């Protein structure tokens, strides 16, 4: 069972439909109490960092997700859900994150590339990964974002992607915490494989 956290900032139904297509049981809930007992938790996210972290804190999901990770449960953050796992973000001011992955969320700066990044781009795997098991290096995924994650620990970086003159971290994997900057639910067969791998790891 995959628990999909509804904290008011996510494209929940498209993620759930992807799991339905894969035959994976999932539940969408705004009650963090129902997270208890689920081995897999998914944190989606679309929108601004500051509003999203405030919503997580008010709803009780911040503490529930931290407890879930502390007990050895698996967590997958998608897009903004990935960024919320870091220590802080510079999006529209300075905001503290969940600090499950020490690091900062930074804004793309480029004189040549149009920001936000919208569209398909490839990943370059940085280590053997459960999330990308059975997938070729250079696989393409769908991105929509203006900010990117910069973890302090390079060992947490599972994949990078080239954009705006920078090989930014596009996937994180360490100690049961998984995260992707792209949208697997919008990334065709490659994205479905990522969700399948998360559900089965």
Residue 160 half-sphere exposure, CB side, CA atoms within 13 Å? Answer: 15
Q: Is residue 189 among the annotated active site residues?
A: no
DSSP secondary structure string, 114-152? -SSEEEEEE-EE-S--STTTT--TT-EEEEEESEEEEES
Closest CA to 179 of 97, 67, 94, 90: 97
CA gap 201, 199 in Å, rounded: 6
Sequence length of the chain is: 201
Residue tagged active-site, from 38, 68, 74, 79: 79
In this structure, is the dihedral angle defined by the CA atoms of residues 3, 69, 172 and 148, taken in order, positive or negative? Answer: positive
Q: Is residue 79 among the annotated active site residues?
A: yes
Query: Please, which residues bridge with residue 175 across strands?
Result: none
Residue tagged active-site, from 74, 91, 145, 185: 185
Q: Is residue 95 among the annotated active site residues?
A: no
- Other beta carbons within 10 angstroms of residue 129's beta carbon come to 18
Q: Which residues are catalytic?
A: 79, 183, 185
């Amino acid at each position: 069972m995959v628990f999909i956290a509804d904290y008011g900032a996510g494209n929940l139904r498209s993620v759930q439909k992807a799991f339905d297509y894969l035959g994976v049981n999932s539940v969408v809930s705004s009650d963090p109490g129902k997270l208890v007992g689920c081995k897999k938790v998914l944190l989606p996210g679309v929108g601004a960092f500051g509003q999203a972290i405030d919503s997580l804190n008010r709803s009780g999901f911040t503490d529930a997700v931290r407890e879930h990770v502390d007990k050895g449960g698996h967590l997958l953050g998608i897009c903004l859900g990935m960024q919320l796992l870091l220590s802080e973000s510079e999006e529209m001011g300075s905001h503290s994150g969940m600090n499950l992955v020490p690091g900062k969320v930074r804004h793309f700066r480029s004189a040549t590339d149009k920001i936000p990044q919208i569209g398909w781009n490839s990943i370059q795997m940085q280590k053997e990964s459960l999330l990308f098991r059975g997938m070729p290096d250079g696989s393409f995924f769908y991105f929509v974002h203006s900010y990117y994650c910069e973890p302090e620990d390079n060992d947490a970086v599972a994949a990078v992607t080239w954009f705006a003159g920078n090989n930014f971290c596009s996937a994180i994997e360490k100690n049961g915490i998984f995260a992707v900057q792209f949208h697997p639910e919008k990334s065709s067969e490659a994205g479905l494989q990522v969700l399948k791998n998360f559900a089965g790891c």
